[in-house]
Amino acid sequence: MSVFTPVSESELRSYLNAYELGELVGYKGIEEGIENTNFFLTTSHGEFVLTLFERTPAADLPYFLGVMDHLSRAGIPSARPMPRRDGEVLGTLNGRATAIVERLSGRGVDQPSPEQAAALGTVLAKMHKAAADFPAQRPNCRGPSWWTPALKELHDKLPQEQLALLQDEVAYQARVDQSALPGGVVHADLFRDNALFDGPRLTGLIDFYYACNDAWAYDVAVCVNDWAINAEGCFNASVYDALVGAYAQERAFSEAECQAWPGQLRRAALRFWVSRLLDWHFPRAGELTYSKDPAEFERILLAHRQRTPQWPG
């Protein structure tokens, strides 16, 4: 259950006075999601999602909401933030920074078909191109300056073998030159639960709260690790081919990206292995939600270190 901050009907009615979204018809807490408090809202004007930001740093919210707004205006299926009467997209409710965005149709997928993976690849490449003129910048907060102290924190929690693997991978990543890779705004967390589908049609990209400026190939690698590789580290060849093939058709990888591809897959695996280890060993006080299994990403990283696929093409 992920309603960390309850909201009463009267609090919500009063909060909605700041918007031009009509009368409240109903609302319901959303159980999925482990970072923020989310509600589905129905008003006389339509369907929306209300988010009370619990963990996301307030200073970054204008960037995230700006990216969503920019992309939805460019025809990418991301939820448009609803402006308040004063023109702002952020408000405060029960002590939390709060936003209302449009509710997108569709549902997440657990086992994507090649068709759905291709739809994701196409939209991801379009998203990268559409955000190329987004003016604001935000560095990736899950890079070397984050995982180096994270490993120190984890030092006493992990067996020597895991620590050695993590340290070796961090050392490898430090030798990779990212500067030659083209990039821009990336989603950076586009797992299966952050894409909504209606059958084969991709109807929504959600949860832009790790979006940042980074290499585009890294964003593709984050997707591949979750969409095309199972928890044992085995590739699903048809999903992989469909995803990267559709991406490449929309935006071809440069020579530098092709060469960097194996390292990007490893970087993406390292990032989520470390964040899951932190969530596992240092759960939030009062946490009621489950932590995701860190070992999945250990296996994925090991698989990449043993036999990484080259970029097809």
Ligand X SMILES: Nc1ncnc2c1ncn2[C@@H]1O[C@H](COP(=O)(O)OP(=O)(O)OP(=O)(O)O)[C@@H](O)[C@H]1O
Rounded CA separation 54/265 (Å) = 30
State which of positions 239-268 bind ligand HSE (CB under 6 A). none
Smallest separation (angstroms) from ligand HSE to the CB of 88: 26
Does 291 engage in binding with ligand X (CB under 6 A)?
Answer: no
Nearer to ligand HSE among residue 19 and residue 191 (C-beta) = 191
User: Which residue from 129, 281, 292, 305 is in contact with ligand HSE, where contact means CB under 6 A?
Assistant: 292
Residue for token digits 């969503």?
68
Q: Please tell me whether residue 79 binds ligand X under the rule CB under 6 A.
A: yes
Listed ranges 71-79, 230-238, 270-278, 298-306: which one lies at the site for ligand HSE (CB under 6 A): 270-278
| Site residue total, ligand X (CB under 6 A) | 20
Residue pair 249/265 in contact (Cβ under 8 Å)? The answer is no
Q: Assess 64 for contact with ligand HSE (CB under 6 A).
A: no
CB 21 within 8 Å of CB 45: yes
- The tokens describing 171, both together, are 């050392």
**Beta strands at 37-43 and 24-29: parallel, antiparallel or unpaired:** antiparallel
Span 185-204, contacts to ligand HSE by CB under 6 A: 189, 191
Question: Is the sign of the CA dihedral 279, 283, 286, 291 positive or negative?
Answer: positive
Shortest separation between residue 28's beta carbon and ligand X, angstroms: 11
Single out the residue of 197, 261, 272, 311 in contact with ligand HSE (rule: CB under 6 A). Answer: 272
Site string for ligand X, 34-73 (x = CB under 6 A): xxx-x----------x------------------------
Should residue 104 be labelled a site residue for ligand X when binding is judged by CB under 6 A? yes
- Closest to ligand HSE by CB, 206 vs 244, is 206
Q: Which of 3, 18, 21, 30 binds ligand X (CB under 6 A)?
A: 30
Rule CB under 6 A: which residues touch ligand HSE?
189, 191, 272, 275-276, 292
Q: Which residues would be at the binding site for ligand X (CB under 6 A)?
A: 2, 30, 32-36, 38, 49, 79, 101, 103-104, 108, 193-194, 204, 206-207, 209
